[in-house]
Amino acid sequence: MALPKPVLRLLFILTAVLSYLAYDHFSSLMTPSPEAEAAAEAFFTQHYQSNTQGHTNNWAVLVCSSRYWFNYRHMANALGMYRTVKRLGIPDSNIILMLADDAACNTRNRFPGSVYSNKGKLLDLYGENIEVDYRGYEVTVENFIRLLTGRVSPTLPRSKRLLTDDRSNIFLYMTGHGGNEFLKFQDNEEISAFDLADAIEQMWQKKRYNEIFFMIDTCQANTMYSKLYSPNILATGSSKLGENSYSYENDPDLGVAVIDSYTHHVLSYLENVNKSSQLTMQDLFSTYNFHQIRSHAGVRTDLFNRGLDKTLLTDFFGGVAQVEVVDEQVSSGEPSSAQASPKVEPEASRPPKQPRAIQNPQKARPKSTIPSSSDSNPLINQAKGWGALLALSGLFVWSMKRAEV
Amino acid sequence: MLRRIRNNLKGKEPDIASGTVPSQTFEDSYAQRLQRRKVAIGLVTKLLPYIITLLYLVGYVWMIMIPLEDLGNSIWIDENALQPGQATTFWDWNDVHAADLYLADIEALHARNASSLERATFVEQQLAALGLDAAIQPYTFHTNALKRSGTNAYGIYRAPRASGAEAIVISASWMSRTNEGEGTPNLRGVATVLALARYLTKYSLWAKDLVFVINDGYMDGIQAWLNAYHGLEQQNLKTDLLEYSSGVIWTAICIDYPGHSFSHLGFFYEGLNGRLPNQDLMNSAVHIATSTGGTPVVLYDHIETSYQRPPPTWYMPSILSHWLGHYKMRSYIYRLFNVKRYVQYQGLNRASGVHGLFHKFRIDAITLFAVPAYGPHGFHTLGKIAESLLRTMNNLLERLHASFFFYVLTSARTFVKFAGYLASAILIAVAMIFWGLRLWVVAGWERATVVVYIESDMSDEKPKSSERWPNAAPMVAWVPRERPVLSVLSLMGATHVVGYITFLMVKSSWFCHTLEANHLFVAVTLSILLLLTPFMTLFQPIRDIFIPPPNIYANSSTERQAPLYLILKAFNLYISSIVISITSVLNFSLAASLAVLLGLPLALTSPASLRKIPAMWRYLLVVFVSPMGLLGMALWLGVGGGGVQGLTKLFERTIWEWEALGVWFLPFACVVYLPLTLQGMLVCTLPEQ
């Protein structure tokens, strides 16, 4: 089967010409003009250095590494954090929840399908809308490290992946039974502080985060963040070396402890935080006291290059995007964007990678570049079009002649 | 030391240069080493009697010190999953009322002397009415000692949300363990279990099936039920397979509530053949009984206050009475009685309640014993404790394994760890084996006048016979002698055969029937026969067998033989020591009893002819600790109700326990213990040579 040769030739030539025209048209878009570049640069330098920081999306990784009914409180810890970050705006798609056991459906649970974190069973953490991404025996050290570093099987569903980029702020929460520089997973393996530090370093090298807030509630928890060495990490833990972390209270109907002291303290504090809250990390950390937590909760700030009093709690716990006040100077000659009043953008629609990440310049730039390129030299553009038409017809005539021969 | 090494090194230097000097230094060092070794051995040999005495002393003192409060540890709960006393109990007066109603029915059955089938059917109906899989299980034991039959009833509650792979047993035997299952009915215990069945099955939080068992009789019923549950066949037991079955039983509680009310909750935990439940179960029960139940706890039925009363002062000097009145002393005495009870059960390989039969199947079980009193506790307290304890057992994720399996409880809240008591028996065993080894060495040598040939160094040629005489001289020296090991071993084998024959006789139906007919006659005849066996060696014909005829043709060194009794005593001590060491790991009470009974008497045996009356005490000491002597002692003390009847009962029970329950005490006493004492007696009756 073959089309007649002239038709084929004609098609070939047509394609060539069209691709040239397409290239010609779009190349003007792809090579930014110096003015636009300068504008974007100015925008970033001005806003990046200010008290806002450069994250555009928030993620939470919540790990409960211990199983069994008597570790009910660890499930409750992780679920309590899940509820809080969800309430503060991180959507389920950006939360990786790892629960090593299913306390809600344990036969010993007097209240099937529920997990409570307080004595009076006031708040059901399990509720009706919960997405556990890694459950039961899926919660392993290997899976956790793969999750962090992104070295996952191509068949792994997206819901189980940490799809972060270098504009992501990650809240990493771990709870379970631990000791000096380790956290036990599932009663048969443990992750060491070195493993964790190396995994996070790999994340940094692979540009998988902008900033990490690491929180851990376990015995001797502060040893777990002692080995971290990658930049932009703020870490906090429930107890110092050689110290136990204790449970807060137990529910006599369930017959087990329902939450840990430290997590209970943090969650209670976060209950007063809403999406628009201006409370900072410093505010949280200054509530730490031995009397309430019954262990010496610690904070590590040397890897973090922002002031704690300038770091909002919602930078990590909330899915709140930066509130950008865009001046007229930046959006040059574009009245529509100049009028853009400060508005809150939910993070759910995650924009692609930097530098086109921030929405305002993305909107601004195409509009400013297209007119500039068309204004510059209309004659040449017209000549290009005519030239192409001429070449096309010449080629057509030539091919017809060839076909006759 | 350093200097010596340096000297040695210096001494080695000429080694390369010249030949003669180093060889001498080497010889010197060897000689020195030999000399040192000789001195050390000499020292040990010289000190050995003192070492042995010290070992005995430390061993016995240690044993006495086991109940000391300061040596014990307070209990703790090891298993994280248990979470004892954390759950609220919902057992209420409503349930107490239900128990009262059950009790009325059961009392009516008891009052009209209902047959075991009637009783079991009643229980079955009640359990079936609650929606449980309920059935009865008739059984009959045909043993030589006793014939027992009865009917068990049981019901299984299938955990609605679990797979039913595991189960918990809540049981009550029809007979209470008061007086070791003699006659008192456990009516309230049965009522408690029925009321619990009614109450617990309302909840869906069970991770394991609940099996409610009301077994007939005392030990017999639960033995039949457990065998049938686990599909074990027993020759003298006739029963059917169970109609319903559940999963693997992990834990069990047996409820014993014989009185009207109770003041203290007592715990019984010893199982058959020295087995013990994991200590976590005991500790959880103690914790729950005090925290949730609010009742004081005791070990067995030993109420502490009765031991804390100041001792009477009128018959002892004031210092002594003051000393005895000291709180430490009183606490010691209380603990001493607890340990005594423990040794009594465990040493006789007995179970202290029906829970003891569960241990064989690797089920941790204890008996909750409501110590009868006029108050203040009753169904309300017991139900709460049972509920909370079952919630705790329900929390288990794997079998109890974290805490101790070997321990001595000195009170409900204190215990002695394995290492804290084991060494006492071992030290005595070591002393015995040292003593035996010493005898072995002693038996190998003899001080005798011998003719020594002085060999001349002048020539290598053998001197002619005529030239020998001038070189020979008589002198006193240590001469090695032969040790007749083979004849001793055969002698010991014979005593064990005698023991085995005794065992066969005792457990034969003939013995049991004659025992019933004329109680004492048989036992006394057998005892006297056994006691007389060692005296057979006094007869010349038998004596001749053991004393080899003098060998005329043998030369001086092989002619001599160690006396038989020495070797026999040495071997007797070895075997006793080994038996004590081995049993101490499995059953400390038995080992400790053996160490106390055999430790000194066997070490003190030595031949004493009948004419030498003062030396007869050694023989009598062994007779005293022999089974015959101990039985006589039991008769005198009035064990088991006193007199001949008591002795008969003792026999019956021991034989029954071996045949029906598989208690190893009877074979051990006959095949191991009796021969050891017979050997001791033999040592006393053998010729001194």
pLDDT at B317 over 90: no
Residue B393 pLDDT: 94
Residue A6 pLDDT: 76
Residue that wins the pLDDT comparison between A8 and A43: A8
* A5 at B interface, C-beta within 8 A: no
Are A107 and B159 an interchain contact pair (Cβ–Cβ within 8 Å)?
A: yes
pLDDT at B442 over 70: yes
Q: What is the mean pLDDT of residues B212-234?
A: 92
Nearest to A255 among B159, B204, B391 (CB): B391
Peptide bond into A32 cis (omega under 30): no
pLDDT at A343 over 60: no
The reply to whether A74 belongs to the active site is no
Residue A366 pLDDT: 37
Instruction: For A110-166, write each residue's pLDDT tens digit.
Output: 999 999 988 888 889 988 889 999 999 999 999 999 999 999 999 999 999 999 988
pLDDT at B643 over 80: no
Q: Which two tokens stand for residue B90?
A: 């919902």
Residue A166 phi/psi, 5-degree rounding, is -80, 10
Instruction: For B582-596, write each residue's pLDDT tens digit.
Output: 999 989 999 999 999
pLDDT at B464 over 60: no
Residue B539 pLDDT: 67
Of A289-303, B350-364, B497-511, which gets the smallest average pLDDT?
B497-511
Q: How confident is the model at residue A286 (pLDDT cuts 50, 70, 90)?
A: very high
Are B81 and A68 an interchain contact pair (Cβ–Cβ within 8 Å)?
A: yes
Strands in A211-217's sheet, in edge-to-edge order, are A134-135, A95-99, A57-64, A168-175, A211-217, A233-237, A298-300
Q: What percent of chain A has pLDDT over 90?
A: 50
Residue B477 pLDDT: 78
pLDDT at A48 over 60: no
Residue B313 pLDDT: 57
Of B285-289, B539-543, B557-561, which gets the smallest average pLDDT?
B557-561
Q: What is the mean pLDDT of residues B68-87?
A: 89
The reply to whether A105 belongs to the active site is no
Residue B18 pLDDT: 46
Residue A404 pLDDT: 64
Residue A363 pLDDT: 35
Instruction: Please tell me the distance in Å from B389's CA to the nearest CA on chain A.
Output: 12
Q: Mark which residues 250-309 of A lie under 8 Å from B by CB.
A: 250, 252-257
Residue A356 pLDDT: 36
- Set A47, A64, A219, A264: catalytic member: A219
The DSSP string of B145-202 is S-EEEEEEEEEEEPPTTS---EEEEEEEESB-STTTTSS-B-HHHHHHHHHHHHHHTT
Q: How many alpha carbons fall within 13 Å on the CB side of residue A242?
A: 0
Q: What percent of chain B has pLDDT over 90?
A: 51
CB atoms within 10 A of CB A289: 11
* B104 at A interface, C-beta within 8 A: no
Nearest to A110 among B86, B205, B397 (CB): B205
Under 8 Å between Cβ of B435 and B52: yes
Residue B478 pLDDT: 81
Q: What is the C-alpha separation between B36 and B38, in angstroms, rounded?
A: 5
Q: What is the C-alpha separation between A93 and B370, in angstroms, rounded?
A: 59
Q: Which residues in chain A touch residue B83, judged by CB atoms under 8 angstroms apart?
A: 70, 255-256
* Residue B285 vs residues B266, B366, B630: alpha-carbon distances, Å: 10, 9, 37
Of A194-203, A371-380, B217-226, B412-421, which gets the smallest average pLDDT?
A371-380
Of A66-70, A105-109, A322-326, A373-377, which gets the smallest average pLDDT?
A373-377
Are B86 and A256 an interchain contact pair (Cβ–Cβ within 8 Å)?
A: yes
pLDDT at A355 over 90: no
Q: What is the C-alpha separation between A346 and A56, in angstroms, rounded?
A: 10
Residue B689 pLDDT: 63
Q: What percent of chain B has pLDDT over 70?
A: 84
